[in-house]
Amino acid sequence: MQALCRKLTAKPLKMGVHGAWQRKLFPTRGKSCTWLLMNQNSPHYILTLSCADARGIVAAVSGFLTEQNGFIIESTQFGDPSTDRFFMRVHFSAPSGADLKARFASEVAQRFGMEWELHDASRKARVLVLVSKYQHCLNDVMYRYQTGQLPVEIVGVVSNHEDARSMVEWHGIPYHHLPVTADTKAAQEAQILELIEREAIDVVILARYMQILSSELSARLRGKAINIHHSFLPSFKGAKPYHQAYERGVKLIGATAHYVTDALDEGPIIEQEVTRVDHTFSPETLTAVGQDIEALVLARALKYHVEHRVLLNGTKTVVFR
C-alpha cells in the first residue's frame, strides 16, 4: 500500500474526464495517502437496517459514519412502496471503538425506529449442514468452502443416514448421524438444536434434507435456516419429481432457495434459477441438470446470507447482490 501511495503521489495526474474526482481524492502532488492506509488497516463492518421509509435516513447514516472517521466501501438501499419500508446495507471501515454500536443505537437507530445489525465483516459465519441421501448440494457447498469461495466455517454435518459420512470426514468435518422416525422426531430435533447452541451456529443449510422440520424448530431458526428444492412449471411433488416432469413434457426446470418456515416450501425466497429443457432430455438428464441448478442456487443463497445481503421484508426478501 505504501508503494501504491508513492506511485500515486509521485507525479501530477492527468485530469481528463474524471478530473474533478481525481482532484478530490488526490488534491495535490506529494500529499500523503493517510486515508488509504486507514481504510486498509481499520476494522471492516457491515451495517444492515430496515425501518419505516422517511426522509433523511441515508444522510443520517452516512453523516454518523463520517463523524466516526468511517470510510464507506459499499452502500445500497431500497425503499419498498408496497410495504412503506426502507432497507439499507453499508460496508464500511472505521477505527475500532467499543462505543460504535452504542452510539449508532442512540444517535441514529432510535430516531428512525430501525431494526438493525452491525456485523464484523472479517468474521466467518459458522454453518451446520443437514443432509439425507442426495449429496450433490452438500458436495458443492463443501468444495466452495474448501476453496475459499464461501466465507464460512462449516463446523458439522448432520444426517439421518450414513451415506455421506466418508465424503464429509474426508474433508475433515465432523459427521453427526442422527436417525429419525415419527416416534423419535422430537428427540432428534432436540439433539440438532443442542448442537446448534453448543457450536454457536449462525446458519443452518438444508442441503436436500428430506425431513420436514417441526413448527417449533422452524420458529427457533427463523431467518437462519435455508432450504433448497426444485421448481417446476408446473410443480411436481412427491417421489421422483424429475420423472414426473419428463412424463408431462416440462420445458423449464429450476430451483428455489428460501428461508425455512412452518409452511412447507413457502418461506421467503432468497434466490432462484431456471433453465430450458426439451423433448430430448431423458429423466436421468433432467435429474442431472436439475441437481446442478439446485447446488448453484443454494450456494448463491448461502453467500448472500453470510455476506449480510438478505433482509426480511414480511413474506419476501430484499437481496442486495
Is the Cβ–Cβ distance between 283 and 248 less than 8 Å? no
DSSP-derived 3-state class of residue 304:
helix
Is the Cβ–Cβ distance between 259 and 267 less than 8 Å? yes
Q: Which of 53, 262, 265, 292 is catalytic?
A: 265
Compute the residue count for the chain. Answer: 321
At 222, the amino acid letter reads: R
Residue at grid coordinates 472479517: 122
User: Catalytic site residue 265?
Assistant: yes
How many other C-beta atoms lie within 10 A of the C-beta of residue 244? Answer: 18
How many other C-beta atoms lie within 10 A of the C-beta of residue 302? Answer: 28
DSSP-derived 3-state class of residue 277:
coil
How many other C-beta atoms lie within 10 A of the C-beta of residue 26? Answer: 17
DSSP 136-194: HHHHHHHHHHHTTSS-EEEEEEEESSSTTHHHHHHTT--EEE----TTTHHHHHHHHHH
| Closest to 226 in 3D by CA, of 276, 271, 186 | 271
Residue at grid coordinates 431500497: 78
Residues 6+ apart with CB under 8 A from 37: 1, 2, 5
Alpha carbon distance 281, 252 (integer Å)? 11
Show which residues are catalytic. Answer: 265
